[in-house]
Amino acid sequence: MNYESGQTVPVELEDGSLIYVKVKPPQITRGDSDKLGPKSSFDKVTSSIEGIVTAIAKPINAAKPTKASVTFGVELEMQEGLLIAALAKGTGKTSLEITLEWEKGE
């Protein structure tokens, strides 16, 4: 298996449908066996994103700006056979780019 260029893995969404996601290669050490299962769940990714959004929204809502926008990137990685979301550096190489916008109603 070629881990250097990443790998495309099947991921099951909450509704049971499958998507294919290219993930960063896991950190393989000498003697490790293939830890990637046949199918991963997207639940860990979505719950991670939900946690990030909640953490970002709290101070924004407390500041009560008229308008606010936040963009962040999430890279998808395999760790111990599970698909996870990791906050990405500010590059165009992120797997998911998420933009949040708040606008104060009148």
Mean pLDDT confidence for 89-101: 74
Whether 90 shows a pLDDT value over 80: the answer reads no
DSSP class per residue in 20-76:
EEEEBPP---TT------S-EESHHHHHHHHHHHHHHHHHHHHH--SEEEEEEEEEE
Closest of 17, 21, 29, 1 to residue 82, by C-alpha:
21
Give me the mean pLDDT over the 6-30 stretch.
Answer: 71
State the pLDDT at residue 82: 77
Query: Which amino acid belongs to residue 68?
Result: A
Domain ranges of the chain: 7-103
End-to-end CA distance of the chain: 56
Q: What is the pTM of this model?
A: 0.65
For 28-85, how does the pLDDT look when each residue is reduced to its tens digit (9 = 90+)? 444 444 444 556 778 888 888 888 899 999 999 999 999 999 998 888 877 777 777 8
What local confidence, expressed as pLDDT, does residue 84 receive?
Answer: 79
